């Protein structure tokens, strides 16, 4: 047994030795960028005059739309987003001009000298207003199964309602940034904070009118991303790259926290209108839902996010008649974008709220209502995919057992009977999370592996390291195939010269896709090495075939005579001497995933991750605050590559989600300006917000329909567990006021308002 689990970045982070973009010493001649940000959410540029600002000593160049040599366009899925707006300002804080100067303060001061005349236009901020006007990026999408109208007529009970969830700031520790360095000829290297090297390379090449091979993307590691750099980093990378291209000097773009929070997009707020039909046992026969999202100024990833919300609209319930419609609306907010869960939490919040309403109306236990509706192996999802190896009901039983649910219910009832100013509540939420990019073509990855002459290794994959330790997981995969310790493998920066055309590290698929690609590369190297091992062992008098060779813990031996060994390092040296290749490229694409958007039918997911959570909270009726007393999580994880890393992901996702549901709030003024733009006013959870008791049970089931070595994706599915806190607070509030309507997020203010019995 190892004393410490493998975690490549752990020691570096703890000792402050890990390096981030912008941490390096400034390059000679490097320019700093500052921006003129739009002072209105919607308007028309009448005049933009930079001449006075440009004449200030130390100002090297001021860049505007007129300076873009190629296409002034950074839209990717839909080409609707200019690098700099030429006329129409679409959101408050949109960059209109970039000042490049010898230092940041000079640049900042020169921004104030830029002259801007605008005609202010009415901003559309509200999702209802946008929806009514049909301001959608694409027409309504639909997934449908069964006969919804007939089932609604025949249902014993029906309910309808509107459910809303709110946005969320990503609050990555590392703000948006890029360092662009011009090279020989017209080559350009971008060290950029992105989850998507391929997108930045492609978009940058269009903006500059250069072929892609002139643009080199390098991502050492990110200080967190959470989806906020899946696409949103492209703008800042292209601005830095354009500056470097025009001045032939290195350019650094590095947003301050306030700038970042003011001008970058967030999680999509959703508003959903639904109708449901069910019987006296709480079994849902029909669900009709319209999911409406506030997408902000440009399409960005809004359509894919809406689609994932639609794919998760029924969550863990098998519903025979369902109509799931979705509309993503354009408004004058910074483009809302990917955020851990990618629409699924928003879709799941609605169905779980509906299940709570059904339980309340029928006076049934919320856990029983979830069980009776739970998917079973072989059921069909509304989009036609067969749900394989799925036992939500069994997981819920396990949760009831480990949490002593019956005991907790009694405890809460007794507490509530004995206390007037505090109330407790329980909340339960299951999850069934689909794994794969729902845009099927993104489900591919590559890896490049070199074994050096001493037996150590260099691995590059398309995976961006952002704290989730995709690097450790890929190294673990190679270490298993070649039988060498993780310490012998260096996982390199993500670089477009070593691995091109990399899909975004996103959709929880980073370790699945890049782990498989790493496995394939390592297996190729192994297959080259095995015949050499046979010859080496023959010199020790061992007769064997390649398939008898074992590679374990840096040793090489035949399973027939395991005591006669050589070392991996000697094997590699011998292979080199025999002119056998010591490198390989691995390519993986996920089999069998497809989805027909027009028909709303297909197999979008390679597999599902299932689990459930229960939280117990206590609220204070005098100040509205809550504490999470206990949380129990039962999570189906297959054969984990690293249980420690997975636990870290589960705790992190739970806490981040509980923050979204309870304390994180994005107030907006009537002009479309975010008001909470730094940590003094935007509150994220800290270590003190972790439940007093937090128990995570990892269930190895599910390995048959999983990924590399039977492991399962873990980045996003546990985000759903934080919803249990919101439902627990709602439950506690209702103990004080049975008709309470609790808002989202359940801030202290929301809790106090809900106690108002009018
Ligand atoms: N990005 C994407 C994602 O392009 N497609 C997806 O399905 C997805 N899912 C989760 C997170 N990012
Ligand atoms: Mo994403 S929300 O970057 O998986």
Per the rule left: phi > 0, alpha: psi between -120 and 50, beta: everything else, 554 is left
CATH architecture of 26-122+185-253: Alpha-Beta Complex (3.90)
Each residue of 6-63: pLDDT tens digit?
999 999 999 999 999 998 889 999 999 999 999 999 999 999 999 999 999 999 999 9
What percentage of the chain exceeds 70 in pLDDT?
99
More confidently predicted of 443 and 389: 443
Q: Is the dihedral of CA 154, 155, 157, 161 positive or negative?
A: negative
Report the pLDDT value the prediction gives residue 702, as an integer from 0 to 100: 81
Task: Domain 391-437+606-758: give its CATH code.
Answer: 3.30.365.10
Q: Is the dihedral of CA 645, 649, 652, 655 positive or negative?
A: negative
Residues recognised as catalytic: 716
Nearest Cα residue to atom 8 of ligand 1: 507
Each residue of 229-238: pLDDT tens digit?
999 999 999 9
Per-residue pLDDT band for 676 (boundaries 50, 70, 90) equals very high
Short-list 606, 619, 597, CA closest to 737: 619
Angle at 463 between CA 457 and CA 469, to 5 degrees: 80
Short-list 141, 514, 125, 172, CA closest to 340: 172
Nearest Cα residue to atom 3 of ligand 1: 507
DSSP 8-state symbol, 745: S
**674: Cβ–Cβ under 8 A, 6 or more apart, which residues?**
92, 261, 262, 334, 666, 667, 668
Distance in Å, CA 340 to ligand 2 centroid: 5
* In 122-232, alpha helices (H): 127-132, 148-154, 197-208
Distance CA 593, CA 476 (A): 26
Report the pLDDT value the prediction gives residue 703, as an integer from 0 to 100: 85
Report the DSSP pairing between strands 215-219 and 188-192.
parallel
Distance in Å, CA 114 to ligand 1 centroid: 39
Short-list 534, 543, 610, CA closest to 566: 534
Specify the ligand 2 atom closest to the Cα of 507.
4
Nearest Cα residue to atom 1 of ligand 1: 507
Continuous segment of H or E residues that includes residue 43: strand 43-49
Distance in Å, CA 506 to ligand 1 centroid: 6
Q: Which residue has the tokens 């260096």?
A: 490
Specify the ligand 2 atom closest to the Cα of 506.
4
Report the pLDDT value the prediction gives residue 389, as an integer from 0 to 100: 85
Short-list 726, 58, 702, CA closest to 435: 702
Nearest Cα residue to atom 10 of ligand 1: 507
Residue 681: count other Cβ atoms within 10 Å of its Cβ.
12
Mutate to test the pocket of ligand 2, among 168, 340, 442 (most ligand atoms within 8 A of CB): 340
What percentage of the chain exceeds 90 in pLDDT?
97
Nearest Cα residue to atom 7 of ligand 1: 437
Each residue of 604-642: pLDDT tens digit?
999 999 999 999 999 999 999 999 999 999 999 999 999
CATH assignment of 123-169+266-373, among 3.30.365.10, 3.90.76.10, 2.60.120.590, 3.50.50.60: 3.30.365.10
Distance CA 265, CA 169 (A): 8
In the sheet with 549-552, reading across from the earlier edge strand, the strands are 549-552, 555-558, 565-567
Ligand nearest to the CA of 593: 1
2 has pLDDT over 70: no
758 has pLDDT over 70: no
Nearest Cα residue to atom 5 of ligand 1: 437
278 has pLDDT over 80: yes
Distance CA 266, CA 168 (A): 6
Specify the ligand 2 atom closest to the Cα of 340.
2
Report the pLDDT value the prediction gives residue 244, as an integer from 0 to 100: 98
Distance in Å, CA 499 to ligand 2 centroid: 20
Distance in Å, CA 304 to ligand 2 centroid: 11
Distance in Å, CA 595 to ligand 2 centroid: 19
Ligand 2 pocket, residues with Cβ under 6 angstroms: 195, 227, 230, 338-340, 342, 506-507
**707: Cβ–Cβ under 8 A, 6 or more apart, which residues?**
435, 511, 512, 515, 516, 606, 607, 638, 713
The dihedrals phi and psi of 421, each to the nearest 5 degrees, come to -100, -10
Specify the ligand 2 atom closest to the Cα of 229.
3
**419: Cβ–Cβ under 8 A, 6 or more apart, which residues?**
none
Domain ranges for the chain, please list them: 26-122+185-253, 123-169+266-373, 391-437+606-758, 444-589
Distances (CA, A) of 678 to 38, 256, 672: 19, 10, 17
Ligand nearest to the CA of 510: 2
Specify the ligand 1 atom closest to the Cα of 307.
7
The overall average pLDDT reported for the chain is: 97
Nearest Cα residue to atom 9 of ligand 1: 507
Each residue of 409-433: pLDDT tens digit?
999 999 999 999 999 999 999 999 9
Ligand nearest to the CA of 226: 2
Distance in Å, CA 467 to ligand 1 centroid: 18
**What would the mean pLDDT of 374-379 be, rounded to a whole number?**
96
196 has pLDDT over 60: yes
Distance in Å, CA 419 to ligand 1 centroid: 45
Q: What share of the chain is helix, strand, coil (3-state, %, to 5)?
A: 35, 25, 40
Distance CA 671, CA 332 (A): 10
Using an 8 Å Cβ cutoff, are 641 and 708 in contact? Answer: yes
Distance in Å, CA 238 to ligand 1 centroid: 22
**What would the mean pLDDT of 138-142 be, rounded to a whole number?**
97
Short-list 304, 291, 301, CA closest to 265: 301
Distance CA 599, CA 593 (A): 15
Distance CA 273, CA 290 (A): 5
Angle at 426 between CA 163 and CA 609, to 5 degrees: 70
Distance CA 428, CA 143 (A): 27
Short-list 26, 502, 428, CA closest to 218: 502
Judge if the upstream peptide bond of residue 173 is cis by omega within 30 degrees of 0: no
352 has pLDDT over 80: yes
* In 560-642, alpha helices (H): 568-577
Ligand 1 pocket, residues with Cβ under 6 angstroms: 230, 301, 304, 308, 338, 342, 437-439, 442, 506-507
Distance CA 192, CA 255 (A): 13
Distance CA 196, CA 198 (A): 6
Short-list 99, 30, 64, CA closest to 251: 30
Short-list 456, 245, 447, 431, CA closest to 348: 431
Report the pLDDT value the prediction gives residue 4, as an integer from 0 to 100: 79
Distance in Å, CA 210 to ligand 2 centroid: 29
Report the pLDDT value the prediction gives residue 77, as an integer from 0 to 100: 84
Specify the ligand 2 atom closest to the Cα of 504.
3
Mutate to test the pocket of ligand 1, among 78, 437, 504, 505 (most ligand atoms within 8 A of CB): 437
Ligand nearest to the CA of 337: 2
**480: Cβ–Cβ under 8 A, 6 or more apart, which residues?**
709
Topology match between the domains 123-169+266-373 and 391-437+606-758: yes
Ligand nearest to the CA of 439: 1
Mutate to test the pocket of ligand 1, among 229, 302, 305, 326 (most ligand atoms within 8 A of CB): 305
Specify the ligand 1 atom closest to the Cα of 436.
7
Report the pLDDT value the prediction gives residue 1, as an integer from 0 to 100: 55
DSSP 8-state symbol, 464: P
Per the rule left: phi > 0, alpha: psi between -120 and 50, beta: everything else, 469 is left
C-alpha dihedral, 260 to 263 to 265 to 270, nearest 10°: 120
Q: Is the dihedral of CA 375, 377, 379, 383 positive or negative?
A: positive
Using an 8 Å Cβ cutoff, are 425 and 734 in contact? Answer: yes
Structure tokens at 53: 């600002």
Specify the ligand 2 atom closest to the Cα of 339.
2
DSSP 8-state symbol, 26: P
Structure tokens at 541: 């008098």
Does the model's pTM come out above 0.95?
A: yes
Distance in Å, CA 264 to ligand 1 centroid: 19
Q: Which residue has the tokens 């080259």?
A: 528
Mutate to test the pocket of ligand 2, among 307, 467, 507 (most ligand atoms within 8 A of CB): 507
Structure tokens at 555: 């040793």
Ligand nearest to the CA of 267: 2
Specify the ligand 2 atom closest to the Cα of 505.
3
Distance CA 280, CA 262 (A): 49
Short-list 219, 176, 199, CA closest to 491: 219
CATH assignment of 444-589, among 3.30.365.10, 3.60.20.10, 3.40.50.12160, 3.40.640.10: 3.30.365.10
Structure tokens at 372: 């009776």
Distance CA 49, CA 54 (A): 10
HSE on the CB side for 570, CA within 13 Å? 11
Structure tokens at 621: 């009726």
Each residue of 697-740: pLDDT tens digit?
999 988 889 999 999 999 999 999 999 999 999 999 999 999 99
Distance CA 197, CA 219 (A): 8
Nearest Cα residue to atom 3 of ligand 2: 227
Distance CA 417, CA 688 (A): 28
Structure tokens at 375: 């998917």
Short-list 587, 644, 588, CA closest to 1: 644
Distance CA 693, CA 402 (A): 13
Structure tokens at 107: 């640049």
Continuous segment of H or E residues that includes residue 119: strand 115-120
Q: Which residue has the tokens 């006329």?
A: 87
Mutate to test the pocket of ligand 2, among 171, 506, 512, 719 (most ligand atoms within 8 A of CB): 506
């Amino acid at each position: 047994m190892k004393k410490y689990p493998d975690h490549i970045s752990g020691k570096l982070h703890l000792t402050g030795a890990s390096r981030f973009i912008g941490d390096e010493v400034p390059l000679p001649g490097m320019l700093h960028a500052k921006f003129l940000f739009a002072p209105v959410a919607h308007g028309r540029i009448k005049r933009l005059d930079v001449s006075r600002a440009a004449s200030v000593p130390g100002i090297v160049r001021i860049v505007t739309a007129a300076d873009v040599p190629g296409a002034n366009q950074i839209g990717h899925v839909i080409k609707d987003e200019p690098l700099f707006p030429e006329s129409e300002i679409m959101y408050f804080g949109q960059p209109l001009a970039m000042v490049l100067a010898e230092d940041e303060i000079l640049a900042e001061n020169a921004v104030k000298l830029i002259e801007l005349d605008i005609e202010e236009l009415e901003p559309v901020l509200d999702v209802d207003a946008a929806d009514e006007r049909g301001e959608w990026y694409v027409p309504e999408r639909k997934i449908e199964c069964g006969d919804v109208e007939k089932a609604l007529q025949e249902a014993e009970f029906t309910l309808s309602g509107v459910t809303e969830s709110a946005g969320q700031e990503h609050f990555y520790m590392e703000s948006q940034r890029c360092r662009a360095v011009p090279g020989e000829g017209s080559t350009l290297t971008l060290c950029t904070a992105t989850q998507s090297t391929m997108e930045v390379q492609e978009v940058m090449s269009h903006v500059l009118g250069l072929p892609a091979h002139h643009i080199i993307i390098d991502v050492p590691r990110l200080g967190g991303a959470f989806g906020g750099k899946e696409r949103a980093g492209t703008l800042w990378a292209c601005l830095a790259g354009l500056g470097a291209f025009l001045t032939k000097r290195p350019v650094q773009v590095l947003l301050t926290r306030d700038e970042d929070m003011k001008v970058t997009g967030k999680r999509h707020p959703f508003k959903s209108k639904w109708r449901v039909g069910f019987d006296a046992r709480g079994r849902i026969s029909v669900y009709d839902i319209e999911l409406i999202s506030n997408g902000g100024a440009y399409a960005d990833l809004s359509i894919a996010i809406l689609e994932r919300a639609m794919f998760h609209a029924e969550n863990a319930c098998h519903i025979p008649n369902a109509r799931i419609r979705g509309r993503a609306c354009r408004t004058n907010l910074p483009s809302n974008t990917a955020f851990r869960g990618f629409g699924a939490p928003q879709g799941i919040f609605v169905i779980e709220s509906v299940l709570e309403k059904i339980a309340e109306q029928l006076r049934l236990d919320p856990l029983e209502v979830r069980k009776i509706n739970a998917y079973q192996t072989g059921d069909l999802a509304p989009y036609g995919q067969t749900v394989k190896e799925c036992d939500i009901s069994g997981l819920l039983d396990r949760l009831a057992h480990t949490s002593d649910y019956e005991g907790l219910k009694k405890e809460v009832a007794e507490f509530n009977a004995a206390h007037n100013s505090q109330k407790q509540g329980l909340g339960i939420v299951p999850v069934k999370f689909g794994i794969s990019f729902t845009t099927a073509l993104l489900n591919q990855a590559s890896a490049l592996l070199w074994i050096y002459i001493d037996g150590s290794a260099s691995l590059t994959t398309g995976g961006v390291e952002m704290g989730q330790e995709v690097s450790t997981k890929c190294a673990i995969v190679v270490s298993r195939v070649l039988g060498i310790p993780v310490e012998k493998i260096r996982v390199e920066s993500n670089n477009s010269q070593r691995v091109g055309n990399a899909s975004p590290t996103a959709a929880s698929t980073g370790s699945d896709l890049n782990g498989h690609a790493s496995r394939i590369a390592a297996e190729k190297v192994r297959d080259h090495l095995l015949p050499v091992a046979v010859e080496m062992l023959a010199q020790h008098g061992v007769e064997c075939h390649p398939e008898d060779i074992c590679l374990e813990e840096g040793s090489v031996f035949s399973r027939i005579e395991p005591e006669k060994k050589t070392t991996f390092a000697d094997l590699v040296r011998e292979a080199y001497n025999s002119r056998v290749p010591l490198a390989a490229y691995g390519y993986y694409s996920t089999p069998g995933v497809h989805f027909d958007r027009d028909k709303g039918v297909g197999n979008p997911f390679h597999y599902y991750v299932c689990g459930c959570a229960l939280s117990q909270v206590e609220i204070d009726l005098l100040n509205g605050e809550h504490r999470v007393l206990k949380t129990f999580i039962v999570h189906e994880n297959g054969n984990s590559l690293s249980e420690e890393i997975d636990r870290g992901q589960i705790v992190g996702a739970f806490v981040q989600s509980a923050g979204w549901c309870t304390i994180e709030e994005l107030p907006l003024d009537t002009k479309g300006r975010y008001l909470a733009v730094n940590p003094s006013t935007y509150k994220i959870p800290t270590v003190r917000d972790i439940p007093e008791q937090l128990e995570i049970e990892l269930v190895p089931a599910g390995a048959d329909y999983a990924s590399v070595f039977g492991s399962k994706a873990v980045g996003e599915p546990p985000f759903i567990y934080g919803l249990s806190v919101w439902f627990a607070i709602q439950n506690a509030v209702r103990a004080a006021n049975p008709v309470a309507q609790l808002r989202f997020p359940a801030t202290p203010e929301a809790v106090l308002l809900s106690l108002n019995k009018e």
